[in-house]
Amino acid sequence: MNTRFDMMLPRRQTILGGVALAAGAAAPAHAQLTIDMTKPSFEPVPIAIVDFKGDKVGADIAGVVRNDLQNSGLFRSISPSAFIQQNMDPNTPPRFPDWRGIGAAGVVVGQVTQSGGNIKVDFRLWDVVVGQQATGLSFTSQPDKWRRLAHIIADAIYKRVTGEEGYFDTRVAYVAESGPLGNRVKRIAIMDQDGFNTRYITDGKTIALTPRFSPTLQEIVYMAYGENNAPPRVYLQNVESNRRELLGNFPGMSFAPRFSPDGTKVVMSISADGNTDIYEMDLRGRALRRLTSGPAIDTSPCYSSDGSQIVFNSDRGGTQQLYVMGAGGGGERRISFGEGRYATPVWSPRGDFIAFTKISSGSFGIGVMRSDGSGERMLANGFLVEGPTWAPNGRVLAFFRQQPNSGGRAGSVTLHQIDITGRFERQMPTQGDASDPAWSPLIPQ
Amino acid sequence: MKKLPLRLLILVALALPTAATAQRADPVYIEDRLNQLQQAISLLTGQIEQLQYRNQQLQQQMEKMQTDYEFRLDQMEKGGARPGGAPAARPTTPPTAAATPPAAAPPAAAAGAADQVYNDAFKKLQDGDYAGAEKGFRAFVQRNPQHALAGNAQYWLGETYYARRDYQNAMTAFAEGYKAYKSSPKGPDNLLKLGVTLANLGRKPDACAIFARFAQDYPRATDLQKRRIDQERQKNGCG
C-alpha cells in the first residue's frame, strides 16, 4: 500500500497548472461521492475539508474551498468541529471508519510548503465510501494568490464529484449602485466569484452599464453615458491598465455590447435615424458591419458558444421576442413563442441552452430554453429579476433581483446565482447594491 | 338609365376632395400614415411568425402520429404482442409459442398448465378485464419466474396497470421487468413503457435517463422501436 501510495505522490507543478494523478482519477463512479446534478432531486454530497497543513494560510485555503463547495448547493461541508480524526498526515490515507462515522462521503486533506518564494499546495480528495483516493493535485503560485489556488482546488473537487467543470476560479463584473433613487451612481465593479477582491473600474462620474468580459478577461466592454448629457456609447477598457477607448464614433447611441467567443469582434446595438439595429465591429481593423435592418428595434445580441450564430431580441412582430440569425446576419428566425415579452438572451457557453428574462402579466422571470426555442423552463420569478449570465460550466446562472421597498417601489438590488434546475438559489455577496452581472470565463491559468 | 351618369359624377366628385389632396402632402399626415403602416406590418409579422410556428408544430405532430400508427399496424400485422401506446388499444393476437420459444423446456405437464395461465390472462387483457389479467400475469410470473414467457408476462402485468392509468404500479412492474427480464423478447418494449410511464408520472428526467439506456441495452432493436424511443425523447425534451 505504501509503495503504491508513494508512486501516486503529486508531481511538482509550475505556475498554477494542475495534473490529475493517475490513481483514482479513472476509478468508476461511486454511489456517494458522485452527484448527478441533472436529476430532479438529490442530496448534497457531505464532504469534510481538513485545514491544510504546513503553513497558517492552509486553514484559510481550506475555508475558501469549504465556502465555494457549500455555496454551489451540491455539497454539504461538514463542520471541522465534528471531525474525529485529528492531526492527520496529509500523505497517508485517512482512517476511513472515522470519516464514515460522521457521514462524510469524501475527505479533503492537503499541505502547503514554501518553495523558493512561492507556495506549493498539494491536496487529495479521498473517497470515504470505497476507501480510495479520488483525485490528487499539486499547484504552485505566488503567496498572495492563495485565494485563486483555493478556488482552483474547489473546481477540481467539484469536477471530480459532479463530472461538470467547476466555476469557482472566475470573476463577476457588475454595476455597483449607490446613492438616492433619483440620482443613482452606477459604476462598473469586478470581484472574485465569492465576493472578494472587489475593484471599481469606472469612476461613477457618468452612469456605466452592461459590463461584459472578453474571453481572456483582459478587457471588458460596457456602455457609459457621456459627460454633459452626451448620448451613451460603448467603451472597451483594459482591466489591468484601466485604459479605455470609445468603440466607434457614431452620431447616435450605441449599447448592449458583447464579445464574440474568440474575442476578435464585438456585437452591439446602434441607434441611427431613429432606427436601432445590430452591428458587428471587428476589433482588429475597427471595421463596422450592420447585421440587421428594418424599422424594428433589434438589440441584446449574444453569440452562440461556437460563434456561428447570434441570438437577439426584436419587436418586429409587435412584441419583444427572441430571434436567432447567422453570425454574419441573415437567416433570422423567431424562437420564443410563449406568453409575454422576452429580453436579454444569453447563449450558454455549452451551447445547449439560451437563458432570458421574460416579462408576462407584469411579473419578471429568468428562464432557459433550448437553442431551438423548445423546452422553455422558468427558474426564478419576482418583482424584478433580470439579466441572466452563465457561469462557464453552463450549469449555473447569475442574475439580479430587485425587491420592492416598503412603498412598493424599487428597493435594494442584489446579485443571485441559481443552478439550471432552479432548485438552489443564493444571494451573491457584493459591496452594496449590485445589478446586471456578467460572469467571466475561467481565469486563464 | 338617366340617373346613372349623374350618380357617377357625384361619386367622382366625392373621390377627389381638394382638402384630402392637401392633407396627403402634409408631412405630419405622411408620418402618421407611415407609423400606422409600420404598426400594421409588425402586427402581421407577429401573426405570420405565430402561424408558421403553429403550422410547424402541427406538421410534427402529424408525422409523429403517422409513424405511431404505422408502428402499431406493423405490430398487428406481425401478430406480435402490442407495443406501448394508447391504453385503450387492445392486443389483437396472443403471442404464440413460436414467437417466443422457451429457452429451457420445463416438464410437459407443468409447462402446459403454465401456458394455460398465461393464455387465460392474455385473453382477459384482450377482453379489457384488466384486474383479471393482472391476477393471471402476476400468478404466472410468481410461479414460473424462469419460464420463457415470464418476461412477456411481467411486461403485460405492467400493461394491465398502465391501461388503467395506475402509473405507480405500472412503473413498479415495468421496472421489475427491466431488472429481471432485460434480455426477454419484450425487453425493448418494457424499457420504452417504463420511460413513458415515468413521463406520465411527471418524472421526465428519469424518463429521459431510461430512454438514454435504450441504445446501449438494445442495439438490435427494430427501427420502429428506435423511432418510438426517439419520439418519446423528443416529446419529453430529453437533451
Q: Which ipTM value was assigned to this complex? A: 0.70
Cα B84 to its chain centre, rounded Å, is 9
Instruction: Please write the tens of the pLDDT for every residue from B5-15.
Output: 556 555 555 55
Q: Are A378 and A340 in contact (CB under 8 A)?
A: no
Q: Which residues contact A301 (CB under 8 A, 6 or more apart)?
A: A256, A258, A267, A268, A269, A278, A291, A310, A311, A312
| Domain annotation covers residue A392 | yes
Do A317 and B203 count as a contact with CB atoms less than 8 A apart? no
| Exposure string over A349-367, b if 16+ CB within 10 A, otherwise e | beebbbbbbbbeeeebbbb
Q: Is residue A118 located within the same domain as residue A201?
A: no
Domain boundary among A126, A144, A162: A162
CB pairs under 8 A between A and B: 35
CA distance A333 to A338: 15
Q: Is residue A143 located within the same domain as residue A206?
A: no
Q: Is residue A280 located within the same domain as residue A407?
A: yes
Residue A4 has a pLDDT of 28
Q: Would you tell me which residues 164-203 of chain B have a C-beta closer than 8 angstroms to some C-beta of chain A?
A: 203
Residue A120 has a pLDDT of 92
Q: Is A128 helix (H, G, I), strand (E, B) or coil?
A: coil
Instruction: Please write the tens of the pLDDT for every residue from A297-344.
Output: 999 999 999 999 999 999 999 899 999 999 999 999 999 998 899 999
Task: Measure CB to CB from residue B49 to each of A296, A334, A370 and give the nearest one.
Answer: A334
Q: Is residue A158 located within the same domain as residue A175?
A: no
Q: Band the pLDDT of B20: cuts 50, 70, 90.
A: low
Task: Measure CB to CB from residue B239 to each of A39, A319, A352 and give the nearest one.
Answer: A352
CA distance A66 to A52: 12
Query: Looking at chain A, which residue has its C-alpha nearest residue B43?
Result: A318
Residue B15 has a pLDDT of 55
Domain boundary among A130, A162, A194: A162
Q: Is residue A251 located within the same domain as residue A368?
A: yes
Residue B184 has a pLDDT of 84
Cross-strand pairs, A255: A269
Do A318 and B43 count as a contact with CB atoms less than 8 A apart? yes
Q: Rounded mean pLDDT of chain A?
A: 87
Residue A281 has a pLDDT of 94
Residue B234 has a pLDDT of 87
Q: Rounded mean pLDDT of chain B?
A: 77
pTM, two decimal places = 0.69
Query: Does B206 touch chain A if contact means CB atoms closer than 8 Å?
Result: yes
Instruction: Please write the tens of the pLDDT for every residue from A18-41.
Output: 333 333 333 333 336 777 766 656
Angle, nearest 10°, between helix axes B27-78 and B18-25?
80
Residue A89 has a pLDDT of 84
Do A316 and B42 count as a contact with CB atoms less than 8 A apart? yes
Do A317 and B38 count as a contact with CB atoms less than 8 A apart? no
Q: Are A233 and A247 in contact (CB under 8 A)?
A: yes
CA distance A71 to A383: 24
Residue B203 has a pLDDT of 87
Region of poorest pLDDT, from A70-74, A170-174, A347-351, B211-215: B211-215
Query: Looking at chain A, which residue has its C-alpha nearest residue B45?
Result: A317
Residue A414 has a pLDDT of 95
Instruction: Please write the tens of the pLDDT for every residue from A367-419.
Output: 999 999 999 999 999 989 999 999 999 999 999 999 887 776 778 899 999 99
Query: Does B20 touch chain A if contact means CB atoms closer than 8 Å?
Result: no
Residue A227 has a pLDDT of 81
Tell me the residue ranges of DSSP E strands in A248-306. 254-259, 265-272, 275-282, 287-290, 298-303
Instruction: Please write the tens of the pLDDT for every residue from A72-94.
Output: 999 999 999 989 988 888 888 99
- Number of helices (H), then strands (E), in chain B: 10, 0
Task: Measure CB to CB from residue A318 to each of B46, B53, B237 and give the nearest one.
Answer: B46
| Exposure string over A182-198, b if 16+ CB within 10 A, otherwise e | eeebbbbbbbbbbbeeb
Query: Does B31 touch chain A if contact means CB atoms closer than 8 Å?
Result: no
| Nearest C-alpha neighbor of A180 from the set A430, A433, A414 | A433
Q: Is residue A389 located within the same domain as residue A430?
A: yes
| Nearest C-alpha neighbor of B143 from the set B116, B183, B173 | B116
| Nearest C-alpha neighbor of A132 from the set A30, A54, A259, A34 | A30
C-alpha cell at A319: 412584441
Q: Is residue A308 located within the same domain as residue A414?
A: yes
Query: Does A321 touch chain B if contact means CB atoms closer than 8 Å?
Result: yes
Q: Is residue A108 located within the same domain as residue A179?
A: no
| Residue A40 with chain B: CB contacts under 8 Å | 203, 205-206
**pLDDT average, residue stretch B22-43:** 83
**pLDDT average, residue stretch A256-285:** 93
Radius of gyration of chain A (CA): 24
| Residue B42 with chain A: CB contacts under 8 Å | 296, 315-318
Query: Alpha helices, DSSP H only, in A202-349?
Result: none
Q: How far is CA A383 from CA A369, A405, B20, B154, in A?
A: 22, 11, 50, 52
C-alpha cell at A106: 469524501
Q: Is residue A53 located within the same domain as residue A184?
A: no
Query: Looking at chain B, which residue has its C-alpha nearest residue A294?
Result: B38
CA distance A72 to A194: 11
Residue A169 has a pLDDT of 96
pLDDT for residue A104 is more than 50: yes
Query: B126 or B137: which carries more pLDDT confidence?
Result: B137
Per the structure, the complete domain to which residue A211 belongs is given by: 171-439
Domain boundary among A127, A145, A162: A162
Max avg pLDDT among A125-129, A306-310, A420-424: A306-310
Q: Which residues contact B220 (CB under 8 A, 6 or more apart)?
A: none
**pLDDT average, residue stretch A210-228:** 92
pLDDT for residue A17 is more than 60: no
DSSP 8-class letter at A293: -
Percent of chain A's residues with pLDDT above 70 = 91
CA distance A197 to A217: 15
**pLDDT average, residue stretch A149-167:** 93
Q: Is residue A34 located within the same domain as residue A140?
A: yes
| Residue A39 with chain B: CB contacts under 8 Å | 205-206
Q: How many domains would you assign to chain A?
A: 2
| Residue A337 with chain B: CB contacts under 8 Å | 49-50, 53
pLDDT for residue B181 is more than 50: yes
**Most B CBs within 10 Å: which of A316, A350, A370, as the mutation test of the B interface?**
A316
Do B205 and A38 count as a contact with CB atoms less than 8 A apart? yes
Neighbours of B55 (CB within 10 A): 10
Query: Does A293 touch chain B if contact means CB atoms closer than 8 Å?
Result: no
